[in-house]
Amino acid sequence: MASYRTRLSQDLDRWIAAGLVPAASREAMLAGVEEPRRVDAATALAVVGALLAGAAVIAFVAANWDGLARIVRFGLILAAFAATAGGGAWAAWKQRPVLTNSLLALAALIYAGAIGLSGQIFDIAGHPQAALRGAGLAAFVLALAGRSSGAAIVALALIGLGDMAGGGPGAPRDLWRWEAAAAPAGMALAWFWRSRPLAHAAGLAIVIAWLTLPGERDSWRMLLTAVVFGLLAGLARWRRDEPVARDLLGWLIVGALAAFALAGAEAGELSLVHRGALLLLSAGVVGWGRHDRHDLLTAVGVIGMLGTVSLILFDLGLGLMAAAGVFAVCALTALGVGLALRRSAPP
Amino acid sequence: MRRPLLILVAAGVLAAALIGLVVREDRARTAGTEVLLAMQPLDPRSLLSGHYVIVDIVHPVPGACPLSGRGRDGWIALSPRGRTHEVTGNGATREAAARKGRLAVRGAAYCVSGGGPQEIVQLRLRGVDRFHADQDEAQSIEKALDASRTGPAQVFAIVSVGADGQARLKGLEVNGRRTELSWF
């Protein structure tokens, strides 16, 4: 893909030819744009060499792991953690945010591994859930200290895995999902740090966590969850000029539609009303997505509509011919509405 | 300058927490009451998490099953019999279990048929799961466990029962030779 400078150079030639920009300004304008950094062969070889050296060290340690004294093994894993975290601190001091982010994410992963390996080295039996959640909290600490979205994503993943691991035999029944609180915290960090990857990770986490909370999944609780998702989506839409608002909005709408769909799982006599409402909501999301040019929203709405239609067919116990008829009616309706909208649009 | 310092402080706190956890476990292991518990062979070993031996504690029951309720996680009473300890009862609370034996430890126990007229007690101690060893050691332990299928027990778990009633594995005794978990 051509760099911005190359594209600007081509544009400038066109603009100068059209008389929009004076020719004398061409060089000055191009000089103001930095050339993208190119990785030369020496740098590439250095990176490859460093990676291979790291692999060699890891293989050597793994081959001799059993023969090392416990204190040495423990020291090695602590040293690995200290080296990556120290590297992250150095990168922060040198104001290299990408390197800081990467090293702190790696440090968070190494710490999680260190917890597990310490248990193995010293035969400390523990619950995987406690270890994963502890590692997740540690990753959050690193994320906050270093303003690292990578470490925050690692934290969300570890806490989510901890929720799924369960407490083990004899542990009290888990009444809460840590992810239910961690995911909104992740969303807040994504907002303030303007991190799109973290926004996606937190969005996915909040949908899974809030829809799978332990306890009775009754209709009213799901409806309330849908309303909360909807309110948060409204907030994201209101602040849509923020870089991560669009990403969060997409996931919040996913959560709202999914929660509303689950609310009608045992709707009984009201199931047809629920399906109709879900269909309207999904269609509304499609329209919203097209209006805002938000592809994820459009896709979510379309999937919602397809799912709702399938649900209606399942409820009515219709055969293939009836299903064909229903789909044909829906298709004609969608085409008709689209045509009407096109005709009523201003020229 | 603040952010690099914050990172270093956070990393230091986390490393100290991990070291503290290991030191605390070691101190609790050293300070607890040591008991020897007979082990039985149990397959398999995992290749992914290195070489280890599953600590499966069983012993025959001389008379009726000493347990009330089957497989409930709670407190187990242990009493000395020769140089080892055996299960002599259980209870929902520490005090209830302590009335039935010398020591009360957190865990679960089951009476199961041993294939003959005698029942056996299987003991699951919370905090005692597996013993990691290098390949040679793991294989010699496995050999000793196999030999104890047809003869007297040759492998014993050395367990430390702390003041909190929590069991911690100190090591194994294999054919009279002790292998203890230490810093080295």
What pTM does this model have? 0.76
Partners of B131 on chain A (C-beta within 8 Å) are 123
**In 3-state terms, what secondary structure has residue A177?**
coil
**Minimum-distance CB partner of B184 among A70, A100, A125:** A70
Chain A residues with CB inside 8 Å of B134's CB? 66-67
Q: Which of A81, A88, A92 sits opposite B15 (nearest CB)?
A: A81
Average pLDDT over residues A77-104: 93
- Mean pLDDT to the nearest integer, B62-76: 76
Report ipTM for this prediction.
0.74
**Least CA distance to A139: which residue of chain B?**
B14
From residue B112, give the alpha-carbon distance in Å to each of A3, A69, B70: 74, 39, 10
Tell me the C-alpha distance between A153 and A139, whole Å. Answer: 9
Residues of A with CB below 8 A from B169's CB? 123, 125
Q: Is the pLDDT of residue A46 over 70?
A: yes
CB spacing of B50 vs A170 below 8 angstroms? no
**A200-214, A285-299, B15-29, B57-71 — which is least confidently predicted?**
B57-71
Q: Rounded mean pLDDT of A142-153?
A: 95
| Mean predicted confidence (pLDDT) in B65-93 | 84
* Cβ within 8 Å, pair A118-B18: yes
B177, containing H or E segment:
strand B177-180
Task: Kindly state whether B46 is in contact with chain A, defined as any CB-CB distance less than 8 angstroms.
Answer: no
User: If you measure CA to CA, which chain B residue comes closest to A119?
Assistant: B22
**Higher per-residue pLDDT: B102 or B130:** B102
Mean pLDDT of chain A: 85
Closest residue to A122, CB basis, from B3, B6, B181:
B181
Tell me the residues of chain B between 55 and 114 that have a Cβ less than 8 Å away from chain A: 73, 108
Q: Which residues of A touch B158 (CB under 8 A)?
A: none
| pLDDT at site A81 | 95
Residue of B nearest to A101 (CA): B7
Q: Give the mutation candidate from B3, B9, B14 for the A interface (greatest A CB count, under 10 A).
A: B14
The answer to whether the Cβ–Cβ distance between B7 and A145 falls below 8 Å is yes
Contact between B7 and A88 using a beta-carbon 8 Å cutoff? yes
Cis peptide before A22 (omega within 30 of 0): no
Q: How is A188-251 classified by DSSP, letter by letter?
A: HHHHHHT-HHHHHHHHHHHHHHHHT-SS---HHHHHHHHHHHHHHHHHHHHTTTSTTHHHHHHH
| DSSP secondary structure letters along A54-78 | HHHHHHHHHHTTTTS-HHHHHHHHH
Total Cβ atoms within 10 A of residue B38 = 21
Sheet with B33-38, strands from edge to edge, namely B33-38, B155-161, B167-174, B177-180
Confidence grade of residue A121 (pLDDT, cut at 50, 70, 90)? confident
Instruction: Kindly report, residue by residue over A310-327, the tens digit of the pLDDT.
Output: 887 777 776 777 777 877
Of B11, B17, B184, the CB nearest to A82: B11
Question: Do residue B11 and residue A81 have CB atoms under 8 angstroms apart?
Answer: yes
A34: helix, strand or coil: coil
Closest chain B residue to A66 measured between Cα atoms? Answer: B134
The average confidence (pLDDT) of chain B is 82
How far apart CA B111 and CA B114 sit, in angstroms, is 9
CA distance B35 to B167: 10
* Location of structure tokens 């509509």: A305
The reported pLDDT for the residue numbered A345 is: 63
3-state secondary structure of B124: strand
pLDDT higher for B118 or A248?
A248
- Whether A41 contacts A16, CB under 8 Å: no
Pairwise CA distance, residues A211 & A221, whole Å: 10
Interface test with A, best of B2, B5, B7 (most A CBs within 10 A): B7
pLDDT at B43: 54
Residue A35 and residue A269: Cα distance in Å, rounded? 66
Buried residues in B169-184 as b, exposed as e (16+ CB within 10 A): bbbbbbeeeebebeee
Q: Within 10 A of B97 (CB to CB), how many other CB atoms are there?
A: 24
**With an 8 Å Cβ cutoff, are B3 and A66 in contact?**
no
Structure confidence by residue, pLDDT tens digits, B138-153? 777 777 777 777 777 7
Q: Is B135 on the interface with A (CB under 8 A)?
A: yes
**Partner-chain residue, chosen from A66, A88, A118, that has the shortest CB–CB distance to B135:** A66
Token pair, residue A149, equals: 């979205």
Contacts of A100 in chain B (CB under 8 A): 7
CA–CA min distance B184, chain A (Å) = 5
B22 has a chain A CB within 8 A of its CB: yes
Q: Find out whether A157 and A132 touch, Cβ atoms under 8 Å.
A: no
Q: Give the residue from chain B lying closest to A77, CA to CA.
A: B15
Q: Mean pLDDT, to the nearest integer, of A105-118?
A: 91
Q: Which of A197-211, A257-271, B109-123 has the highest mean pLDDT?
A: A197-211
Beta carbons of B85 and B94 less than 8 angstroms apart: no
| Res. B46: pLDDT tops 50 | no
Per DSSP, the three-state class of B90 is strand
Distance from CA of B31 to the nearest CA of A (A): 16
